[in-house]
Amino acid sequence: GENVEQHPSTLSVQEGDSAVIKCTYSDSASNYFPWYKQELGKGPQLIIDIRSNVGEKKDQRIAVTLNKTAKHFSLHITETQPEDSAVYFCAATTVARAFGKGTMLLVSP
Amino acid sequence: GAGVSQSPSNKVTEKGKDVELRCDPISGHTALYWYRQSLGQGLEFLIYFQGNSAPDKSGLPSDRFSAERTGGSVSTLTIQRTQQEDSAVYLCASSLGTVHNEQFFGPGTRLTVL
């Protein structure tokens, strides 16, 4: 089955800095790559996704890049704000999702 | 509109007891997923339903775990003879379809086995 590795496990940045979270996957058949944000006591919420026929997608301060040849994809958050503090999960999927172990992002004011 | 709901929100049980967790998906969503999230870990896929059928049960950790979905809506996850290692947050998600569709997650059920 699919195996997803996510790094780093924790990331601390100052407000206004950029944050980058990286994931690698093993199954070349995976063709959909969503990113989720999970706040304390809540279920994960989709923030951005990318399909395998696209190399990059941007939505305001958030962007995702995908390199299918290398089987890795990354989440980029620019101009971070304290409310960006949460746990972020990447996933790779054909049908069922295989999730990374998560990155706890801490944005200090 | 209403999102995915799960009940109970918290469940404390004694080792060896059976527990039943419930998920109400968003109306009209044909796909339903169960995940387990242990402390500090990612989401572990358990099972998914397309309608009432479960094409993929590969994630269920043991034969103590089972799930069903009736009427293409509500799903229940049952854990028999609970063990302490079953303690985790159990998350349910639903989506319009299975491929390339956003999953909407419920708030989860926190299960504690004493």
Q: What is the pLDDT of residues B51-108, one digit of tens each?
A: 888 877 888 999 999 999 988 899 999 999 999 999 999 999 999 876 667 889 999 9
Q: Are strands A103-108 and A10-14 parallel, antiparallel or unpaired?
A: parallel
Report the pLDDT value the prediction gives residue A95, as an integer from 0 to 100: 62
| Residue with tokens 């949460």, as numbered in its chain | A86
Across the interface, whether the CB atoms of A95 and B102 are under 8 A apart is answered no
More confident residue, A18 or B48: A18
Query: Please, which residues have CB within 8 angstroms of residue A63's CB and are 6 or more apart in sequence?
Result: A48, A56, A57, A75, A76, A78
Q: What is the pLDDT of residue B2?
A: 81
DSSP B96: S
pLDDT at position A1 is 73
Interface residue of A95, A101, A103, A104 to substitute, partner B, most B CBs within 10 Å: A95
Q: Does A103 touch chain B (CB under 8 A)?
A: no
Residue in chain A nearest B42 by alpha carbon: A101
Provide the token pair at A20: 């980058």
pLDDT the model gives residue B101:
78
Q: Is the peptide bond before A8 cis (omega within 30 degrees of 0)?
A: yes
CA distance A89 to A100: 6
Q: Which of B35, B17, B16 is nearest to B75 (CA)?
A: B35
Is the backbone peptide bond immediately before A44 cis, with ω within 30 degrees of 0?
Answer: no
Q: Cβ B42–A44 below 8 Å, yes or no?
A: no
Closest CA to A65 of A21, A3, A2, A8: A21
Strand-pairing partners, residue A64, are A57, A75
User: Cα dihedral angle (A35, A37, A42, A44), rounded to 10 degrees?
Assistant: 0
Residues in chain A with pLDDT < 70? 95-96
H or E element, residue B83: none
Q: Quick count: other Cβ atoms within 10 Å of Cβ B80?
A: 14
Q: How far apart are CA B7 and CA B110, in angstroms?
A: 10
Residue of A nearest to B35 (CA): A97
Show the tokens assigned to A71.
Answer: 């089987």
Residue A93 pLDDT: 83
For A100, which residue in chain B has the nearest alpha carbon? B42
Q: Which of residues 42-61 of B touch A (CB under 8 A)?
A: 42-45, 48, 55-56, 58-59
Residue A95 forms contact with B (CB below 8 Å): yes
Chain B residue with CA closest to A34: the answer is: B102
Amino acid A2: pLDDT: 79
Could you count the other beta carbons within 10 Å of the beta carbon of residue B14?
Answer: 8
Say if the Cβ atoms of B48 and A96 lie within 8 Å. Answer: yes
Q: Cβ of B43 and A97 within 8 Å?
A: yes
pLDDT score at B99: 67
